[in-house]
Structures are given as C-alpha cells and as structure tokens.
C-alpha cells in the first residue's frame, strides 16, 4: 500500500469512488513529520485502511482551507466515499491504529 496523490481537481471524485476506509493526509514538501508518516502509515494501517491519499496543502490551498488544516500533517478518515472524522493520534503504530479503530466505532462527524 502506498499514498496516491490528490489535488483540488480530483479530490472529491476519487474519494467518492473509494470503497472502504480511506485516510487522507494533508502534507507539505518541507514537513518532516509528513515524510515520517508517509513512510510508516502504510505499514501501520495495513488491514485497516483500504486507501491512503495525500494532498499537498501548498498546492491545494482551497482544499486545505475547506478542511480547516492549520497544522501539518492533517489526517482525515473517509468511509465508502463519505467524510467520517479527523484522525488525531501520536505518530506511532499502536496509538494510530487504536485511534482509527475508535473513530470507526463512532458515528460519522459533520464534514468541515
């Protein structure tokens, strides 16, 4: 599993077409925490997420604003093409997997 890139132009159609759990990471080219997550999330979330996407917040500014991304990386969970919730957890395998499991048991939140 790896991250597929999304932009403002293909974000919504590709998310809607994504069956199962999708995790979207808003990142930036100079963000070391983003690079760390990009290296490790595919392994950490294997078996939990069907799709991993990343959005360059510097290139897709309107999309980052729409999702109220103020700090990078910003992680968001979608289920069967619908927004579910932001994903916030320590950047480590156990906390990240546990946070995603908890989110998926909760009802979906309103999209920003």
Residue 104 pLDDT more than 90?
Answer: yes
Instruction: Write 63-69 long-range contacts (CB < 8 A, 24+).
Output: 63/7, 63/8, 63/11, 63/26, 64/26, 66/112, 67/26, 67/112, 68/112, 69/26
Locate the DSSP E strands across the chain: 3-6, 21-27, 51-56, 74-79, 82-87
pTM over 0.85: yes
| β-pair type (3-6, 74-79) | unpaired
| CATH code reported for the domain at 3-105 | 3.40.30.10
* Residue 1: band (very low, low, confident or very high) from pLDDT cuts 50, 70, 90: confident
Chain-centroid distance, C-alpha 112: 14
pLDDT at 95: 98
Average pLDDT over residues 35-45: 97
Residue 33 pLDDT more than 90?
Answer: yes
Average pLDDT over residues 17-30: 97
| β-pair type (21-27, 74-79) | antiparallel
Structure tokens at 68: 């109220």
- β-bridge partners, 53: 4, 24
């Amino acid at each position: 599993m790896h991250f597929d890139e999304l932009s403002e132009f293909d974000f919504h159609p590709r998310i809607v077409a994504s069956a199962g759990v999708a995790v979207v990471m808003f990142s930036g080219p100079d963000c070391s925490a983003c690079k760390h997550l990009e290296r490790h999330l595919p392994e950490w979330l294997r078996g939990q997420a069907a799709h991993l996407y990343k959005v360059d917040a510097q290139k897709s500014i309107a999309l980052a604003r729409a999702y109220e991304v103020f700090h990078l990386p910003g992680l968001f969970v979608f289920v069967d093409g619908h927004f579910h919730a932001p994903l916030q957890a320590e950047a480590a395998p156990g906390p990240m997997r546990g946070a995603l499991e908890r989110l998926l048991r909760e009802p979906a939140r309103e999209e920003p």
